[in-house]
Chains A and B, each alone.
Chain A
């Protein structure tokens, strides 16, 4: 069965703190893709990153970084020096071609960054 677990429902931090959002996935496939999306209060879904199962290199994009570890089936997302504008719901998602080609979504982590 395919499954994505985001154990943290809500996180609250103070601006400039670092914060890590956890994502654990389950799949039997060897080829799959993992994603993070951001949903700000305005409601739209913003694509952040895609990682395929053969690429375990960590990714850094400005204050954002992602740690993909196949050994623990995790794809964690860290925001360094958080800002108020980072306040949003963050979704992790899993895709493999064998599952009607759809994304399997985690339930999301609501991040509040307070000034």
Chain B
């Protein structure tokens, strides 16, 4: 089954404790991205990647890091989480070839930073 998986689905942590949210897709997609969703602000892109070893900032990259060492994985790293990073996070992927292809979303990770 074609899918994007994220782990963990729920996480409660404390300020300053490094964490990683994993994202993996099994569709051989080139493009992957991370979004955060906050009430009243909609979905905002954090980082995106066009292919392995190619990453770039989205609209709200501060406080986040990403890496793309393998095509299927695109982890989101919070080196020193703060309460304002409490949010719902989505990973997404899609193919780049041809015209726009459907974007597949992971199930979301609900992060609470105390």
Within 8 A of B (CB), among A98-114: 100-103, 105-108
- Given A50-B100, A91-B43, A107-B42, answer yes or no on A102-B110 (Cβ-Cβ < 8 Å): no
With CB as the reference atom, state the residue of chain B lying closest to A43.
Answer: B108
B105 touches A50 (CB 8 A): no
Let me know if B85 is at the binding interface, CB within 8 A: no
Residues in A whose Cβ lies below 8 Å from that of B103: 47, 103
Query: Binary interface profile of B, 22-64, with partner A (CB < 8 Å = 1, else 0)?
Result: 0000000001010000001111110010100000101000000
Let me know if B78 is at the binding interface, CB within 8 A: no
Let me know if B88 is at the binding interface, CB within 8 A: yes
Within 8 A of B (CB), among A50-65: 50, 52
B105 touches A44 (CB 8 A): yes
How many chain-A residues does the 8 Å CB contact rule pick out?
18
B108 touches A44 (CB 8 A): yes
Report the separation of the CA atoms of residues A33 and B50 in the bound assembly, to the nearest whole angstrom. 19
Let me know if A95 is at the binding interface, CB within 8 A: yes
Let me know if B102 is at the binding interface, CB within 8 A: yes
Within 8 A of A (CB), among B47-92: 48, 50, 56, 58, 88, 90
Partner of B48, one of A33, A43, A95, A100: A100
- Most chain B beta-carbon contacts within 10 A, residue among A44, A91, A103: A103
Report the separation of the CA atoms of residues A45 and B88 in the bound assembly, to the nearest whole angstrom. 12
A100 touches B102 (CB 8 A): no
- Most chain A beta-carbon contacts within 10 A, residue among B48, B88, B103, B108: B103
27 contacts between A and B (CB under 8 A): A33-B99, A43-B88, A43-B110, A44-B105, A45-B105, A45-B108, A47-B102, A47-B103, A50-B102, A91-B42, A95-B100, A97-B100, A100-B48, A100-B58, A101-B31, A101-B50, A101-B96, A102-B33, A102-B45, A102-B48, A103-B43, A103-B103, A105-B42, A106-B42, A107-B40, A107-B41, A107-B42
Q: Which residues of A contact B (CB under 8 A)?
A: 33, 43-45, 47, 50, 52, 91, 95, 97, 100-103, 105-108
